[in-house]
Amino acid sequence: MREFSAEYLRRTREGMWVDSREALSALGLDEREQVLDVGCGTGELSRVLDAETPDDCSVIGCDADLDLLTTASEYVPVVAGDALRLPVSDGSFDLVVCQALLINLPEPSAAVAEFSRVSSDLIAAIEPDNGAVTVESTVDAESALADRARRAYLDGVNTNVALGAATRDAFEAADVEVVATARYDHDRSVTPPYDESALRSAKRKASGEGLADDRETLLAGALTPDEYDDLRSAWREMGRTVVDQIGDRTYRRTETVPFHVTVGRVDA
Ligand SMILES: C[S@@+](CC[C@H](N)C(=O)[O-])C[C@H]1O[C@@H](n2cnc3c(N)ncnc32)[C@H](O)[C@@H]1O
């Protein structure tokens, strides 16, 4: 199972669903009674669900990673479990939902089938299309390099991290009728004054640490070791320019990650 740190989830979810919750409208959150957030991680989505559902609705987070669940448990009740064998009985929730879980599973439709076992009404998946991420930056080389690194990662990773709108196929393969789809663009901007996380991210670019962490995945695709070294060296140079621009407070960057919301209804 792919592992995530609490810090990574905090950083990448910052500001998500703050600007608009319109794309969640088909989940009918204001009339839910029992909601299960599968692969909840630190509970970033669970908190949004808890805020949008009635006071007497119970929102429960579920994850296989016990460390992440400890953080989630500060916000909602949690249960440890595998998305493919949920530790709950048939039809016990009227909404089973996940965010950025299916992209990490080799067979997303198997999880959707399990969701439909434990839901009496709706299931929903909010999945990014990491192949369509865009980056705008005051550092000229950053957008093209981010694109190059992303392509190499997508080529080497062993699950479909660009699932996005194709989540519908996983629902159909699990015999779940899709009743609505929507798109939410999560914009993450770095502007002065820079916070701790922006400073850390700039340092990681300048040291090439981020690419080094993903080296194995990057080399599992078509990228050769020489091409990896070239990419990392250009990346570090770009990172040094980011650090310089941060020093004179001129650095600005916006990354947009498209998330696709797929909602299905299970047979009564
Ligand atoms: C990218 S994180 C998303 C976390 C959270 N939903 C969010 O959007 O912030 C994916 C989560 O799925 C969990 N996960 C991966 N495979 C799992 C499985 N088979 N069963 C349960 N949880 C799983 C991971 O531990 C991680 O917390």
Beta carbon of 44 within 6 Å of any ligand 1 atom: yes
Beta carbon of 16 within 6 Å of any ligand 1 atom: no
Distance CA 254, CA 130 (A): 15
Domains of the chain, CATH where assigned? 6-129+159-186+259-265 (3.40.50.150)
The mean pLDDT of 144-162, rounded to a whole number, is 96
Q: Mutation test of ligand 1: which of 104, 112, 159 has the most ligand atoms closer than 8 Å to its C-beta?
A: 104
How does pLDDT run across 228-263, given as a tens digit for each residue?
999 999 999 999 999 999 999 999 999 999 999 999
Q: Please tell me the predicted confidence (pLDDT) of residue 1.
A: 84
Q: Please tell me the predicted confidence (pLDDT) of residue 268.
A: 61
User: How many Cβ atoms from other residues are within 10 Å of residue 211's Cβ?
Assistant: 22
Q: What tokens appear for 162 in the block?
A: 């660009």
Phi, psi of 194 (to 5 degrees): -85, 135
Separation of 205 CA from ligand 1 center, angstroms?
26
Short-list 176, 92, 168, CA closest to 129: 168
Share of the chain above pLDDT 70, in %: 100
